Amino acid sequence: MRVTSSEPDRVQDPGASAPAGDPDEPVGHPPTSAPIEIVVLALLAVAVGVVLRFVAHTPLWLDEALSANIAALPPGEILSALEHDGHPPLYYLLLHGWMQLVGEGDEAVRALSGLISVASLPVAWFVGRRRGGPLLGWVFVAVLALSPFAQRYATETRMYSLVALLVLVGYLLVDDAVRRGRGGWRYPVIGLVAGALMLSHYWAMYLLAAVGLLLVWHAWRRRGTPLARRCVITLAWMVGGVVVVFGWWVPSMLYQAANTGTPWAAPTRPTVTASIALVDLAAGTGGLAESPLLAVVTAVLFALGLFGVAVGRTRVELDLRTNPQVRPEAIVVGLTMALGIVAGYAASSAFASRYASVLFPLYLLVAAAGVTRFVSRPVRAVVLGAVLALGLVGGLFHGLVQQRTQAELLAQGVADNASPGDVVVYCPDQLGPATSRALVAVGAPELDQVTYPALTPPQRVDWVGYGERHAAADPAAVAAQVDARAGADHGVFVVWAGTYRTLEGQCEALVGALNERRGNMQFVVGDQGEKYYEHGNLTWFPAKG
């Protein structure tokens, strides 16, 4: 493998005759079939991947429980609750309707994301076929089917599978309108999808901005041509769709931006943000020992997809001008990530890798193209098989091994010792949604559940003024209120963790102050942070009487 910036005598890459980086170039004649071994591997990957999208044995953790609790509200109240939560409303409204049909259990609410993720697979096949014929179509659907990132969020009651599906659908529509010249009804649907993306996750604004910049660039380069006109029309419909579909939510978004933010984590440096994204886009979320290997393999394949050109059955060169087959996708991935990193850094916002779901399908498409750079059929099959095997490890980890929350263990500890009317205090309130939900599942008696420091119900978290509220809190004063609330006839349970940002030392101080007032402190459940992603302690102060 050697690096070159000159024009070599190239062997046609399988699928490389598909649409090139300039959307005005001819479509070409991509392969009409894929090797049988690739099809077999892809079908096996899809079969296993579909099953894994509905396998998650752990209870809902904080983010999922918040989603389910908000979606259970009447639609009007959902919109009001989201102003204090920090997210746009589309997924919650869809989940509300879904819950009316199938119920509110853990499996039921997670199934929506699973079905959406499964729906992404045939769309991905069409996307891959557009870029590299059936070969890339099958490879792309295979790696997406067993992608740990895709499987992780297919089993989570959150909007990230919906975001990925909308991106894939939008990709096909924009490709039709711009490169193929088939606008018509697709233009308003492009606007609808753009608005729906913005109503699903705010990082969509960076993706749409990246696509818009690419359209402007092509329109400027080919000004006066039909291509330039199609780019301008597509961009106009995108902007119009965002204004019409998303515009009504802008006041709420501005309120959220001014009052919620990301108090749950500290801002990260741009280089750290990029590193987190590269690892988690390949491996899902943290905890998987093979994450670095998955990240390296996926990044190398991405580089091969972008720069690689086959020049023989055993050679792949790196062309510094990039391979035009997936050049636009790689540009959009890079621009989206850069815009998101710069905006987050400027706003001192934290980053979570799930935000990158807006660029995840395109990142994986370029990596899938990297697999097709190997001309030798045995080599290509071995490379794809290795990628799928690593993906299977990640999928099994997220579905069957990873414990997302200790809530059920904490809830069982309460249920085993509680009497009706006992007080349960959650410190911080972020432990409330998952544990209060788990208390219902384990059959706990009727309890008086409140959060620190405001003593509000535990089903939701109010992110407005979050840090300021804790800075003004007095653990001793809250302990006095809790003690009076329980009285002599009822016990007090404290579900707490000392690792949460903005509460440093306060939960420990709350437990200490309650011990001074009530005594007889009993440690029921210890923090098992080595096993659970969301973890905590359970301390019990029995009734005085």
DSSP of 158-218, one letter per residue?
SSHHHHHHHHHHHHHHHHHHHTS---TTHHHHHHHHHHHHHTT-TTHHHHHHHHHHHHHHH
Picking from 199, 170, 200, the residue whose alpha carbon sits closest to that of residue 186 is 170
User: Considering the chain, what is the average pLDDT of its residues?
Assistant: 91
- The per-residue pLDDT for range 328-354, each reduced to its tens digit, is 999 999 999 999 999 988 888 888 889
Does 21 score more than 50 pLDDT?
no
The pLDDT value recorded for residue 31 is: 61
Angle (CA) 206-283-346 rounded to 5° is 30
pLDDT, tens only, 445-482: 999 999 999 999 999 999 999 999 999 999 999 999 99
Outline where 372-431 has alpha helix (H).
377-396, 407-417
* Greatest alpha-carbon span in the chain: 89
Which residue shows structure tokens 């908000």? 70
Closest by CA to 394, choosing from 289, 254, 470, 269, is 289
Among residues 348, 360, 219, which one has the least CA distance to residue 298? Answer: 360
pLDDT tens by residue, 374-410? 999 999 999 999 999 999 999 888 888 888 999 999 9
Does domain 406-541 fall under CATH 3.40.50? My reply is yes
- Describe the chain by its helix, strand, coil percentages, rounded to 5: 60, 10, 30
Which one is predicted more confidently, 166 or 10?
166
pLDDT-derived band of residue 5, with 50, 70 and 90 as boundaries?
A: very low
pLDDT tens-digit readout, 413-431? 999 999 999 999 999 999 9
pLDDT average, residue stretch 99-119:
96
Alpha carbon distances (Å) from 352 to 41, 80, 164, 387, 466: 32, 24, 16, 24, 19
Residue 226: its H or E element? helix 226-241
Between CA 181 and CA 467 the distance in angstroms is 52
What pLDDT does residue 15 have? 45
Question: Which spans in 8-155 are helix H?
Answer: 36-52, 62-71, 75-83, 90-102, 106-145, 148-154
Q: What is the pLDDT of residue 32?
A: 62
**Better-predicted residue by pLDDT, 284 or 361:** 361
pLDDT at 13: 47
Enumerate the domain spans of the chain: 3-403, 406-541
24-64, pLDDT tens digit by residue? 443 344 566 789 999 999 999 999 999 999 998 889 999 99
Amino acid at 246: F
C-alpha neighbours within 13 Å on the C-beta side of residue 312: 6
Contact 75, 93 (CB under 8 A): yes
CB 435 within 8 A of CB 426: yes
- Average pLDDT of the residues in 285-302: 88
The residue with greater pLDDT, 185 or 545, is 185
Contact 399, 337 (CB under 8 A): no
